[in-house]
Structure formats: structure tokens, C-alpha cells
Structure 1
Amino acid sequence: MEFNGSQHIGASRAEVWRRLNDHQTLQECLPGCEQFQLQDDGAYDAVIVASIGPIKARFKGIARFSNHEERVGYRIEGNGSGGIAGFGKLNANIRLEDSDGGTTLHYLATAQLGGKLAQIGSRLVGSVANKLLADFFSRFEKLVSERQETASP
């Protein structure tokens, strides 16, 4: 499955970049995220609870961020397992650019699913994934914009 799109964020590119590299911000913005902890090797241990159709599971996994280009973007590679619910793998590229009144974040992601998740069907899984992306960006936009306004003189 492939997901791509863009999101306008009402904050400077420097602030968006800073927040995209802050594990607390990411944990606050990821729907269902119970844990997002930086490990010694630079990877993040994550625990996310998600419902996809009739399946609700706690997914435990690892996310690695690489190919950092300061204030431009990076690559995310992640995988997680939800026990009998199945597993997922994600690869995503994130790019930032200046835009009127803020920053535009562009993303291109591919996901692979296995187990019961794969049996549900890509249409339902895609719909849920798009909802999770929308929730993430809504939370991120609100959090980053509010904090930038508070920091402004």
C-alpha cells in the first residue's frame, strides 16, 4: 500500500523540523501511542493501540529515522507486531518546504501488512491509515502552531 500527500502547518520550517525530531511531540500526536522512547542506538521503541475493522491490538515495534537533512527531511523505517492481529512494516520519506504562512510537509509512505491485518483488505486498512494520518496532522498542526504563537513576542 502506498500513501502520499502534503499538509500545511502554520509554523516556521525550523519549528516544524524541531518538533518532527522531538519524541514527546511525536508521542502526543500519534493516535493511540502509549510509548515512544528513544533507545541508546537511536531507534525508538513504540507501543501503539489501534483498531482496524474488527481487530483491535497493541502493536509493539521499532522506528528508525535516517537520512536527516537539516530542516529538509528524513526517512522513517518502522515495523511492529500486534500478536495474532498481524504485523506491519512502514517506509516513509518526509520533506519540508516553506510556504505562505508556514511550512508544507510532504510525505510518501509504503506499508506492508501480514497476518489478520492483510486478510481484512487494503481498502479498509487504507481508510483507517488515512484517518490516522489525518488525526496525526491535526494534532501536530494544533500543537506546533499553538506553541509557536505562545513563543512569539
Structure 2
Amino acid sequence: MAITLEGAFTIPADKRIVWSGLNDPDVLRACIPGCHTLEKASDNEFFAIAKVKIGPMNTSIKGKVELRDVDAPNSCRLLGEGLGGIAGFAKGEADIRLTDVPEGTSVTYAVEANVGGKLAHLGGRFFDGMAKRMVDRFFARFVAVIAPDQSAA
């Protein structure tokens, strides 16, 4: 099943601080919902394990993300894949762009992914809503970590 997701968030911080946070395993571990481990294997590769509830399923997802076409601190392409055991798999890519705005930094994303296994049986509309909620939670946590004075405002 194919999934497409696009959006933008404004982070009240300088673009270089946002870029640094998006590449810091400690920051990412604190912000990714359900993340148990996240290791930076190289400058452009991360490995993670997250425990998540997806509809009626609780599953542990082991994943890998690789950064490509890196233009720091402006943009990159993420290639990722995750295996959730009997629940299924996900594989996809995302284009990430950071732009200076008066309020700080605008982070825009466009994701295209494929989901298979039992996860795919939950349906596209279910995944659209779930993915949007996870992205919203990630960015709320991200702001709280890198711009704590602004997250309470």
C-alpha cells in the first residue's frame, strides 16, 4: 500500500540549530515517538528500534535511515526502511527542506512510502491520520528539546 504525506512546521530556532538537532541521535531519540534506541552508524546513516501501537497492534520496528543529497543546512533526502516482524514492513523516502522565515525555520517534508504485511490491511486513511499524529508529536517534542523557552509560549 502506498502512502504520501506532506507538510510543514515552523521551528522557533535558527536553521543551523534545527539542522543540527535533526542530525543529533540524542535529540532524535527524545523526539521520535516510541523510540528505544537510535544510533548514528556514520555521518549519513542511523539505526533505530521503536515500539509503537498501530491500530490494534503493538510492535517493535527495527529501522534504518540513510541521508542522501545532503545540502547542509538546507535540505536532504531520507531513504528509510523498517521491519515490524509479523506486523509487516515500511519502506520509503522523504525530501526535507529547511528555510529561514521570520519566526525561525520552516521545515517542509514530502514522504512517499510503501507499507506491507498486516500493517497494510489497516488501510490508507488510517495510516494518513496515524502518520500525521506521529509527525505532529515529533515536531512538538523537537521544539520542546531545541527551543524550550519557545515551546511554552
TM-score normalized by the length of structure 1: 0.92
In the alignment, what sits opposite 1:112? 114
How big is the shift at 1:148?
A: 8.8
Residue 91, structure 1, aligned to residue 93, structure 2: yes
Q: Is the 8 A contact 2:45 2:65 kept in 1?
A: yes
SS for the counterpart of 1:39 is strand
Amino acid at match of 2:48: A
Q: Is the 8 A contact 1:46 1:60 kept in 2?
A: yes
Q: Is the 8 A contact 2:99 2:107 kept in 1?
A: yes
Residue 124, structure 1, aligned to residue 126, structure 2: yes
Q: Is the 8 A contact 2:143 2:150 kept in 1?
A: no
Moved over 3 A (4+): none
Amino acid at match of 2:6: N
Structure 2: gaps spanning 5 or more residues: none
In the alignment, what sits opposite 1:56? 58
In the alignment, what sits opposite 1:16? 18
For these two proteins, the number of residue pairs brought into alignment is 149
In the alignment, what sits opposite 1:80? 82
Residue 45, structure 1, aligned to residue 66, structure 2: no
Residue 138, structure 1, aligned to residue 133, structure 2: no
Amino acid at match of 1:115: G
Q: Is the 8 A contact 1:95 1:105 kept in 2?
A: yes
Amino acid at match of 1:25: V
SS for the counterpart of 1:71 is coil
Residue 34, structure 1, aligned to residue 68, structure 2: no
How big is the shift at 1:78?
A: 0.7
Q: Is the 8 A contact 1:2 1:111 kept in 2?
A: yes
Give me the whole-angstrom Cα distance separating, in 1, the residues matched to 2:149 and 2:64: 28
Give me the whole-angstrom Cα distance separating, in 2, the residues matched to 1:65 and 1:142: 24
In the alignment, what sits opposite 2:7? 5
How big is the shift at 1:29?
A: 0.6
Q: Is the 8 A contact 1:52 1:124 kept in 2?
A: no
Alpha-carbon displacement from aligned partner over 1:41-95 (angstroms, at most 9, x marks no partner): 8421110111111111000121111111021011111101111100001210100
Give me the whole-angstrom Cα distance separating, in 2, the residues matched to 1:66 and 1:51: 29
Identical columns (%): 35
Give me the whole-angstrom Cα distance separating, in 1, the residues matched to 2:5 and 2:42: 30
Structure 1: gaps spanning 5 or more residues: none
TM-score normalized by the length of structure 2: 0.92
